[in-house]
Structures are given as C-alpha cells and as structure tokens.
Structure 1
Amino acid sequence: MNLPKRAEDAHAALAAAFNTGDVATVLNMYDFNGIIVPAPDQPVSGREKFEEAIRSILAIEGTMEINTVYCLQTGNIAVGRSEWNIKNGEEVKISSKGVEVMQQQADGTWKILIDHAFGALEDMKPQG
C-alpha cells in the first residue's frame, strides 16, 4: 500500500491505485468519517457508502488521469483542486473538476476527508 507522504501527491497516488485496480489502497486513501461525492448532488459518508461509491468508480473501464490544479496546505490540513477523467482509449468515459480536503495522519500519510469529485464544475456553483 503506497499512501502519499505529501498532500500534493494524493491525486497521483489515487490515480495510480485506481489504474492498478488496487481497491485496498483506494479505500485507504479515504477517511470514512468524511464525505465523498461520487455523482453530482449525491454526497455519502460512512465506510459502507464509501466502499459502494469507490467500487462504482472502479467499475468504469479505462485509465484515470488526475491533474492537480493546486494544493494548499496549512499544518495537517490541505485542500486540493483537481481536473480528472477516465478514458478508455480515446473515449472519455467521465471527466470533471473536483475539490478535495485532506488531513495528515499520525503516521505522516495523507487521507482524503472530503472528496467532491464535481465540486469545481461551473454548474455546481450555489444559486443566489
């Protein structure tokens, strides 16, 4: 299991685990007390819901790419903004812009506490 030792490496570690089908590492990248948004407007929390969400993402056939737009860290908390996609050959299966909040663990590794995979899309802005 290869968990990131730097917050800015979380996106690359997540993509690598996804692309090798390493379910255990993908699951370990997350704090199940947090929130994951695997589909627009569908936030979930808790181990069972996290696992269900992650398995549904892993079921998408293709290669995941995650580009880090930025990663800002203060102490043991970091926020990242990503642009990601899953492609099967040239076909884009899914593409989005996400926001992730990460927390450093006691062992120095980083876990994702909040993963809003669609949080930076223009149409996800609050109305008002």
Structure 2
Amino acid sequence: MNLPKRAEDAHTALAAAYNTGDVATVMNMYDVTGIIVAGPGEPVSGKAAFEEAVKAILAIKGKMEIKTVYCLQTGNIAVGRSEWSITDGSEVKISAKGIEVMKQQADGTWKIAIDHAFGGEASLIAS
C-alpha cells in the first residue's frame, strides 16, 4: 500500500490500511516516534506500543471508515480532524471524532505522527 502524497488523503489511506487487516500495512502509515491514543486517556509512543495499539484496533472486526472534517497544512506539517467508525454490517462497533497530525516525509509522502482517535470528542477534558 502506498503512502499518501497529499496530507488531506491521509485519513482515506489510513482507513484502507486498517481494512487490509495487516499490522505491517497499518504500521507503515505511522511515524512511530510520535504518539497514538487508541483509547481515551491512553497515549503511547514507540514501535512496540504503537503495534499493540494497532493490534487492539484491528481486533475490532469490521470495516473502518474515516471522514475528513478538515485538514490544515503548513509546510511539512498538517493537522486533521476526523470522524471515524468501525462497522460490521449495520452494527456500529465503535465511532469517534479524532485529531491527527501528519508529517511529510523526505520522499514527499505523509505519515501520521500523532493520532488521537478520540481527541475531537466534546466530552473529552484534558487533565
């Protein structure tokens, strides 16, 4: 799977990666020196922690869809707000509003450096 060439395509590429069900494909979408928050209040960093977070999300069987609410870019950094869900047929297994920071790589592609899967939730209060 190819990395996106535009920051605004990162959400679509991430959903496609998750829908392969393959950990390595999903991991390729991330800059693992960054942060992933796969559950509210559970930020982790580093390759091993990222992989565990990705495996936990992949364990939710179904199809992931990610809608880009906005994507703002300046230079080689972009921030996006997403609305995402994992569904199995008509059953919504999980849905949330996320915030993602993308970083352009030396080859011009984009990886996600910060993935706060629940960062856009109105009920989330930083502590």
Q: TM-score range by the shorter chain?
A: over 0.9
For residues 8-30 of structure 1, what are the alpha-carbon distances to aligned partners after superposition, in whole Å with 9 as ceiling and x for unaligned? 00000011111122322210111
What's the secondary structure of 2:79's corresponding residue?
strand
Match of 1:17, as an amino acid? A
Distance 1:22 1:66 in 2: 18
Q: Encode CA deviations 1:32-77: one digit per residue, 9 max, x unaligned.
A: 1100000000000000000000011011110000000000000000
Aligned match of 1:109: 109
> RMSD between aligned alpha carbons?
1.0
Q: After alignment, is 97-106 or 18-27 more displaced?
A: 18-27
Alignment partners' CA distance in 1, 2:65 and 2:126 = 27
Question: 1:126 deviation in Å?
Answer: 3.5
Residues 1:9 and 2:9 are matched in the alignment: yes
Instruction: Percent identity, please.
Output: 73
Whether 1:65 and 2:77 are equivalent positions in the alignment is no
Q: CA contact under 8 A between 1:33 and 1:46: conserved in structure 2?
A: yes
Residue ranges of structure 2 left out of the alignment (5+ in a row): none
- 1:16-95 equivalent positions in 2, closer than 5 A: 16-95=16-95
- Equivalent-residue separation in structure 1 for 2:15 and 2:78 (angstroms): 18
Partner SS, residue 54 of structure 2:
helix
* AA aligned opposite 2:99: V
The size of the alignment, in residue pairs, is: 127
- Aligned 8 A contact 1:103 1:112 in 2: yes
Gaps of 5+ in 1: none
Compute the TM-score of the two structures, normalised by the length of structure 1: 0.96
Q: Secondary structure at the match of 1:83?
A: strand
